[in-house]
């Protein structure tokens, strides 16, 4: 059975329910940036279908209004991260995949890219390319399963906090805008903790 990658890409795109295009200004601006109670955190976890890493949970209990970290809050649209338009809520409960797990798939996709030369009379080329392009979009969306886009670092870069799977609590740098990679953040050769990351810049923790 052949996958309908266009339909799958459209389905996954709906998981970005806090995207700017789907959330009116009145909803986006109603979030209260303040410490959360244990009850509120539990409610958010239940609504999102995840359990927050310990250090992030402690941060939520004491978070301050200032700062560049997208804050978790409850609005008319439900629980979500204010200022974030990239987290896929439909994939939050799916384990975050280590980049090594999809490299072979990505190489295979690159090798299978339809080219006009493969279709001498151009018949079927457009449909084949659209399906291939949608499959690539699905792969890209799934690369950040189980992760929250916690901070916008500018120029298309973002910092991710993993909340689901064996890598829960780790932080990653989404640099796909320039080098097509999602890279782990390290401090002194070890994965950086959320607490240590808060007082540092993500760009200083990437092993380029």
* Residues of the chain below pLDDT 50: 1, 20-29, 65
Query: pLDDT at position 122, please?
Result: 74
Query: pLDDT at position 25, please?
Result: 42
Query: pLDDT at position 34, please?
Result: 72
Query: pLDDT at position 118, please?
Result: 86
Q: H-helix or E-strand containing 142?
A: helix 125-142
In the predicted model, what is the mean pLDDT of the chain? 89
The length of the chain is 208
Give the rounded percent of residues in the chain with a pLDDT score beyond 90.
Answer: 74
- The pLDDT tens digits of the residues spanning 12-51 come to 999 987 654 444 444 444 566 679 999 999 999 999 999 9
Q: Which residues contact 104 (CB under 8 A, 6 or more apart)?
A: none
Q: Are 44 and 35 in contact (CB under 8 A)?
A: no
pTM: 0.89
């Amino acid at each position: 059975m052949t996958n309908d990658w266009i339909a799958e890409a459209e389905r996954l795109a709906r998981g970005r329910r806090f995207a700017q295009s789907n959330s009116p200004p009145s909803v986006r601006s109603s979030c209260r940036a303040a410490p959360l109670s244990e009850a509120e955190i539990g409610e958010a976890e239940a609504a999102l279908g995840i359990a927050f890493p310990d250090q992030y949970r402690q941060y939520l209990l004491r978070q301050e209004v200032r700062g560049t970290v997208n804050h978790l809050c409850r609005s008319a649209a439900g629980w979500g991260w204010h200022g974030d338009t990239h987290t896929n809520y439909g994939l939050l409960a799916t384990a975050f995949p280590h980049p090594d797990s999809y490299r072979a798939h990505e190489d295979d996709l690159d090798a299978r890219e339809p080219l006009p030369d493969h279709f001498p009379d151009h018949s079927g080329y457009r449909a084949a390319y659209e399906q291939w392009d949608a499959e690539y979009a699905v792969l890209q969306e799934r690369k950040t399963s189980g992760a929250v886009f916690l901070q916008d670092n500018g120029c298309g870069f973002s910092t991710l906090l993993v909340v689901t799977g064996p890598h829960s609590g780790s932080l990653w740098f989404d640099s796909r805008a320039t080098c097509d990679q999602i890279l782990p953040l390290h401090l002194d050769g070890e994965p950086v903790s959320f607490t240590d990351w808060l007082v540092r810049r993500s760009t200083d923790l990437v092993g380029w």
